[in-house]
Amino acid sequence: MKDKDDTKERSMHHHRLQRKLVDLTKKLFANPTVFVILLMLSYALGYISSPTFNSSRHTPPPNSPNPSIFQLTNLPTQLDNFRVTTRCANPIPPQNARQLIIDRLFNGTSPYSNFPPPHVTQLLRARRIKGWGSYGAVFSRLINKVKPRIIIEVGTFLGASALHMSNLTRQLGLDTQILCIDDFRGWPGFRDKFKDIQMINGDILLYYQFIQNVMYLNASESVLPVPYSSGSALTTLCEWGVTGDLIEVDAGHDFNSAWADINRAWRILRPGGVIFGHDYFTAADNRGVRRAVNLFAKINGLQVRIDGQHWVIDSAGNM
């Protein structure tokens, strides 16, 4: 008898709870604001639990052997922060480039005038030319192919490759101007290997030795320094309308530096021109220059050709 009474009491309690829930639900849905909030919450919960949402939140890392479609299709978007957006001026005639740079960078006076200044005369060697991969056959092949009016070199150091290219263009009878972009500061600790490059009050005389090398080889009419960082110099040439037929990128060898230089240099490469550079094969493997070159080519639908230690991209596509 007691069991029956307990069962009846539980049944009545359950019935009262149901009535209360029904009444509460009616009151909630009678309020439009509450109804909208509940609707939005249910939509959000459904979206978060969907397979599409979960796959986009858990895309494989960039080096994954199986990247998702989402990742591949959004690769250009992911790189937007690294893109160069400077608006370039209309290209100027090649024969005007040298004087434009002398006027705007050197106040109208050639950097070779009255060189060397007295305070560095005794600190310079008559000739101190050093480079890496500066005499490869790629230089001759590309100059013969392109026959450039303007060559832009990004990363010059003591001028070995620039002076080699100057000699090659002279042998072909070309009227070529070579613009050498470099801040001429070397890198921290480089004087451990180049102790003969002197310093005055912390000012490394790399720039002066470069000028001395150019004058020693009688190349001052064809080789002109642009003594600024690659980023600021390439951006400025873009704004001035200076373009190159052949551009060598050989400054920083880490991914970020190479990526920035290649993108900026590409903007001032004339249609049909060639861009190339050194250090495609280094101890950095696919973390440095090679990664930047390959990624740039992939995104822009270009082909990379290897010539010794150099990479080459022909904007005309006829490798």
C-alpha to C-alpha distances, 174 to 3, 124, 183, 276, 281, nearest whole angstrom: 112, 31, 28, 20, 31
Q: What's the pLDDT at 51?
A: 47
Of 255, 239, 256, 233, the closest CA to residue 247 belongs to: 233
One pLDDT digit (tens) per residue for the chain, 319 residues: 545 555 556 666 666 766 766 666 666 556 656 555 655 555 555 544 544 444 444 444 444 444 544 454 455 555 555 555 668 999 999 999 999 999 999 999 999 999 999 999 999 999 999 878 788 999 999 999 999 999 999 999 999 999 999 999 999 999 999 999 999 998 888 888 888 899 999 889 999 999 999 999 999 999 999 999 999 999 999 999 999 999 999 998 899 999 999 999 999 999 999 999 999 988 777 889 999 999 999 999 999 999 999 999 999 985 5
Using CA atoms, how far apart are residues 126 and 42, in angstroms rounded to an integer? 80
CA distance 151 to 143: 9
Residues 6+ apart with CB under 8 A from 307: 136, 137, 138, 141, 276
Per DSSP bridges, beta strands 203-204 and 223-226 are unpaired
Q: What is the DSSP string of 207-258?
A: HHHHHHHHHHTT-TTTEEEE-S-HHHHHHHHHHHT--EEEEEE-S--BHHHH
Report strand pairing: 305-307 vs 223-226: unpaired
pLDDT of amino acid 201? 92
pLDDT at 78: 54
Residue type, 114: N
Coil, strand or helix at 153: strand
Residue 218: the pLDDT is 97
For residue 286, what pLDDT is reported?
80
What is the rounded (10 degree) CA torsion for 52, 56, 62, 65?
Answer: -20
pLDDT of residue 48: 47
